[in-house]
């Protein structure tokens, strides 16, 4: 299951401003739909602590990128040999026995590697954090089979082929910029997804909204269930029958009398959550053509400010802070990334000449 950022739950990825998903070193990238071979060749020598355990139990501990069912199949078909021989999964191992896994995974997915630059802001053996640019779709889907973050990950990290969604834990909208969390192993991905569900992963956003500071401060906690719009199926809306959705306005900074920069925290992750909630309380994001409309334009704007708002090509929303517990070390990790240039320019224009009393 993905989780969606603005915030969506899709059997694994749910965050908040996510687009809906219809639900190597080679010089030449494979064509879409072609099987991509991934060679696996791994050896493990049984330790004293593992002695007496079943072959499949040890294999699931040491070859942890694969499921126990996969490993049992490989034990049976000879891809995973015990002391050079085929054995049944239930056979118990002894210290210094050798497990050797040799197989080729055929990836028949439409998701193929593409040499697309990605901005890695944190990386270790278990976890990646990417700063996604505006305009990049996270997952391939109808109309977006190429050019996505998944395609880029599969090129730069070919080992991600065997992970669901190339290891992604959550997602953000095409036109939202900012941080995305990725597991580099199956256990790391699953642990991070569990953290997202139990809220030990936290995500903070900055956004520019049409609204004055005093009014916005009356909505420090927005608790309104969100569901899919009954007639406009690509939109989400606040509805009684929707799923629980809670957004926190952590800080409200006036840019002028009618526009503010918000620091927003997500307690839940529903599709388009931040955009839907702020539109619901009548203070939409600048640039949000779906949920903002003409309400983005407030009184008292200079011509330059009006043009900056009208011409801003996307929702002014950036995922700038991501915190999680490291799945291997238990360490608290926090990653931040600065506002992108387009939002910095928008903020400069809207705050030009404003002297907060």
Q: Parallel, antiparallel, or unpaired: how do β-strands 259-266 and 246-256 relate?
A: antiparallel
Please provide residue 26's backbone torsions phi and psi, each rounded to the nearest 5 degrees: -65, 145
How many angstroms separate the CA atoms of 99 and 75, rounded? 10
Using the structure block, give the residue that is written with the tokens 């078909």: 77
List the end-to-end C-alpha distance of the chain, in Å, as a whole number. Answer: 48
**Phi/psi zone of residue 181: left (φ > 0), alpha (ψ -120 to 50 degrees), beta?**
beta
Please provide residue 291's backbone torsions phi and psi, each rounded to the nearest 5 degrees: -110, 0
Q: In which element (H, E) is residue 330 found?
A: none
Q: In which element (H, E) is residue 76 found?
A: helix 68-77
Comparing C-alpha atoms, which of 180, 137, 157, 197 is closest to residue 12?
A: 197
Using the structure block, give the residue that is written with the tokens 């640019």: 133
22 - beta bridge partners? Answer: none
How many angstroms separate the CA atoms of 306 and 297, rounded? 7
| DSSP three-state, residue 299 | coil
Q: How many CB atoms lie within 10 A of CB 229?
A: 12
Q: Parallel, antiparallel, or unpaired: how do β-strands 98-107 and 80-82 relate?
A: antiparallel
For this structure, is 173 an active site residue?
yes
| DSSP three-state, residue 160 | helix
Please provide residue 22's backbone torsions phi and psi, each rounded to the nearest 5 degrees: -60, 100
Sequence-separated (6 or more) residues with CB below 8 Å from residue 274: 6, 7, 16, 17, 205, 207, 247, 264, 266, 285, 317
Q: What angle do CA 81, 82, 84 make, to 5 degrees?
A: 65
| From 6, 17, 173, 175, active-site residue | 173
Q: Just list the catalytic residues.
A: 173
């Amino acid at each position: 299951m993905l989780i969606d950022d603005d915030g969506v739950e899709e059997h694994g990825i749910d965050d908040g401003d996510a687009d809906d998903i219809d639900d190597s070193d080679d010089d030449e990238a494979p064509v879409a739909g072609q099987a991509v071979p991934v060679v696996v060749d791994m050896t493990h020598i049984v330790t004293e602590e593992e002695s007496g355990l079943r072959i499949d139990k040890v294999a699931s501990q040491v070859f942890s990128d694969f499921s126990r069912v996969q490993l049992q199949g490989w034990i049976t078909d000879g891809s995973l040999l015990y002391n050079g021989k085929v054995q049944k999964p239930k056979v118990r191992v002894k210290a210094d026995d050798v497990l050797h896994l040799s197989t080729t995974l055929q990836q028949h997915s439409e998701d193929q590697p593409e040499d697309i630059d990605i901005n890695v802001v944190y990386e270790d053996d278990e976890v990646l954090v990417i700063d996604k640019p505006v305009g990049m779709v996270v997952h391939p889907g109808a109309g977006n089979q190429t050019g996505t973050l998944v395609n880029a990950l599969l090129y730069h990290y070919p080992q991600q082929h065997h992970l669901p969604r190339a290891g992604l834990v959550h997602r953000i909208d095409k036109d939202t910029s900012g941080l995305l969390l990725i597991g580099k192993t199956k256990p790391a991905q699953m642990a991070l997804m569990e953290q997202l569900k139990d809220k030990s992963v936290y995500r903070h956003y900055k956004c520019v909204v049409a609204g004055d500071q005093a009014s916005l401060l009356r909505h420090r906690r927005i608790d309104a269930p969100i569901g899919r719009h009954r007639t406009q199926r690509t939109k989400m809306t606040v509805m009684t029958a929707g799923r629980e959705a809670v957004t926190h306005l952590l800080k409200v900074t006036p840019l002028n009398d009618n526009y503010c920069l918000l620091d927003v925290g997500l307690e839940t992750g529903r599709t388009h959550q931040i955009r839907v909630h702020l539109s619901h309380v009548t203070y939409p994001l600048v640039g949000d053509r779906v949920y903002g409309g003409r309400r983005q334009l407030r009184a008292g704007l200079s011509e330059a400010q009006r043009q900056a708002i009208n011409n801003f090509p996307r929702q002014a929303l950036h995922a700038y802070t991501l915190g999680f517990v490291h799945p291997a070390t238990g360490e608290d990790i926090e990653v931040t990334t600065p506002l992108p240039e387009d939002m910095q320019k928008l903020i400069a224009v809207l705050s030009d000449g404003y002297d907060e009393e």
